[in-house]
Amino acid sequence: MTETTTSSGGRPNLPMQGVHQPSRDEVLNLPRVHISSHPVMAHKMTALRDKNTQPPEFYRHVKEIGALLAYEATATLALESISIETPLGPMIGEQLAGGIGVTPILRAGLGLAEGFREVIPDAQIWHLGLRRDEQTLEAMEYYNQLPHRVNLQVCYAVDPMLATGGSAIDAINVLKRRAIPRLCYVGIIAAPYGLLKLSQTHPDIDIYIAALDESLNDVGYILPGLGDAGDRQFGTF
Ligand code: PRP
Ligand code: URA
């Protein structure tokens, strides 16, 4: 959790204090934003948010929610025809046209990426490390394992929490330099503030989330949220 600093005048510096935030209703119908309405998702989200859920269970829920989100986010992927033989004869089948990339935003995106791999085992995993500075809430890149040669039809940037939107916006900026035909962002919980920022900055991507929450608190955590998604997955309290 964030510790607050004190400015020279002795007042605490709280990065979101006094910042205007849109309401949930104001961002509910943004174009290209898909909010899951699946009852199984709602059920798993409750277990995930519960403060008594311990890291092993929490990680398992992130993975399972990742698989459900992958299922929803891949519903419009392009297919191509392929000739195969069944044991009884020839037929024309279908396969995904072009590779699928998944970019987990480290570290919290790792569990989500594992969920995607359950659905698409041959997805390429492109790791991108972004750390949010707790005082300024700005994202800083510290690790990048994106390949230079790209042959994907789509890449999904995955990260459980869309708070101010800074990390998601930077991740999409990095992916845009790779000239991938289609980019998507996939998250578990979004705050209206970050969702609006991401949607306005990158109106050409699809955004898939499991839940839209109420707001950010003064230090940039999502309310009601689930706390720190990285710490809760990896037990680093
Ligand atoms: C968290 C979270 C997102 C980011 C969201 O990561 O997983 O990446 O903050 O906040 P934003 O929308 O305001 O940018 P954090 O930087 O804490 O790193 P971690 O995944 O290593 O815990
Ligand atoms: N990162 C988290 O892990 N949780 C939040 O609520 C906001 C950012």
**Best probe residue, ligand 2, of 112, 222, 234 (max atoms within 8 Å of C-beta):** 222
Own/partner long-range contacts of 38-43 (Cβ < 8 Å, ≥24 apart): 38/68, 38/72, 40/68, 41/65, 41/68, 41/210
Answer whether residue 50 shows pLDDT above 60.
Answer: yes
Amino acid 5: pLDDT: 46
DSSP at 214: S
- Average pLDDT value over all residues in the chain: 94
Answer whether residue 31 shows pLDDT above 50.
Answer: yes
CA 174/CA 168 separation, integer angstroms = 10
Q: Which ligand is nearest to the CA of 109?
A: 1
For 6-28, write each residue's pLDDT tens digit: 444 555 589 999 999 999 999 99
Q: Which protein residue's CA is at the shortest distance from atom 2 of ligand 2?
A: 228
Least confident of 6-20, 59-73, 95-109, 207-221: 6-20
For 128-185, write each residue's pLDDT tens digit: 999 999 999 999 999 998 998 788 999 999 999 999 999 999 999 999 999 899 999 9
Amino acid 3: pLDDT: 44
Amino acid 221: pLDDT: 98
CB 44 less than 6 A from any atom of ligand 1 = no
DSSP at 197: H
> pTM here?
0.94
Amino acid 12: pLDDT: 58
User: Residue type at 30?
Assistant: L
**Best probe residue, ligand 1, of 167, 173, 174, 188 (max atoms within 8 Å of C-beta):** 167
**Best probe residue, ligand 2, of 162, 226, 232 (max atoms within 8 Å of C-beta):** 226
CA 47/CA 8 separation, integer angstroms = 42
For 54-78, write each residue's pLDDT tens digit: 999 999 999 999 999 999 999 999 9
**Best probe residue, ligand 1, of 14, 112, 135, 161 (max atoms within 8 Å of C-beta):** 161
CB 117 less than 6 A from any atom of ligand 1 = no
Taking the CB of residue 60, how many other CB atoms lie within 10 A of it?
18
CB 229 less than 6 A from any atom of ligand 1 = yes
Mean pLDDT (whole number) for 193-215: 98
Give the distance (Å) from ligand 1 centre to CA of residue 137: 9
Taking the CB of residue 217, how many other CB atoms lie within 10 A of it?
16
CA 214/CA 197 separation, integer angstroms = 15
Give the distance (Å) from ligand 2 centre to CA of residue 232: 10
Amino acid 9: pLDDT: 52
Q: Which ligand is nearest to the CA of 133?
A: 1
Give the distance (Å) from ligand 1 centre to CA of residue 132: 5
Give the distance (Å) from ligand 2 centre to CA of residue 161: 5
CB 222 less than 6 A from any atom of ligand 2 = yes
The strand ranges marked E within the chain are: 5-6, 12-13, 33-35, 79-86, 89-96, 99-106, 124-125, 128-132, 139-144, 152-158, 161-162, 183-190, 206-212, 215-216, 222-223
